[in-house]
Amino acid sequence: MDVSTPANAPWLVVGLGNPGPEYAMNRHNVGFMVADLLAERIGGKFKRAGKAQAQVVEGRIGPPGPGSRRVILAKPMSFMNLSGGPVNALRDFYKVPVGNIVAVHDELDIDYGTLRLKLGGGDNGHNGLKSMTKAMGSDYHRVRFGIGRPPGRMQVADFVLKDFSSAERKELDYFVDRAADAVECLVIDGLERAQSTYNS
């Protein structure tokens, strides 16, 4: 955490995806899946967030007492390539420092199910990250969920908007659960601890 960030500042955890049932099981929507699981863990249900084009759940992550962190879980409802607007609106509304924002997203250049956590960096062609960075700079955390590369000559756009394969779905719950654990560790214990535990 940046030294200028107050210890009691809230965290904003953003699952990236596309709204609508037809996208629900797409590889591109794994951020939504992780956000849904985190909401379940804190006992909240997503609801529309005022004027922001997003659904949110507010709660706390971590053990009861001073070790817990206030967190806003969010799913932008604007479609992936326009995620920055809703996230920026939530950041302003909840007064969240950029360093306390976590984007959970699919990542083509990592093998399926592998996690990588980092702070800042480029968008690697990911339209959700591109939109967020344009709206507020790149100094936010990322939890990158590997989906691997498309097979053969399949276009990237087709691959990310397809559902996980039946073979992938056998392990999907486990990997989503692990990604949710990684988000909790990042928020409670910081990036270094989360990287050493979950970067594989």
Instruction: Round to whole Å and give the CA distance between 171 and 162.
Output: 17
How high is the pLDDT of residue 1?
45
Tell me which residue has tokens 């976590």.
Answer: 102
DSSP 8-state class, residue 137:
-
Instruction: Round to whole Å and give the CA distance between 52 and 187.
Output: 23
> What are the structure tokens assigned to 19, written together?
């709204």
Q: Is 105 part of the annotated catalytic residue set?
A: no
Instruction: Round to whole Å and give the CA distance between 55 and 138.
Output: 22
Helix, strand, or coil (residue 36): helix
How high is the pLDDT of residue 7?
65
Rounded to 5 degrees, φ, ψ at 110 are: -125, 140
Handedness of CA 196, 69, 30, 16 (dihedral sign): negative
How high is the pLDDT of residue 48?
87
Q: What is the pLDDT of residues 90-136, one digit of tens each?
A: 999 999 999 999 999 999 999 999 999 999 999 988 999 999 999 99
In 140-165, which residue ranges form alpha helices assigned H by DSSP?
156-160
Instruction: Round to whole Å and give the CA distance between 81 and 129.
Output: 8
Segments of the chain with pLDDT less than 50: 1-4
How high is the pLDDT of residue 2?
44
Q: Which residue in 28, 105, 126, 141 is the catalytic one? A: 28
Helix, strand, or coil (residue 99): helix
Q: Which residues contact 85 (CB under 8 A, 6 or more apart)?
A: 53, 76, 78, 131, 135
How high is the pLDDT of residue 195?
97
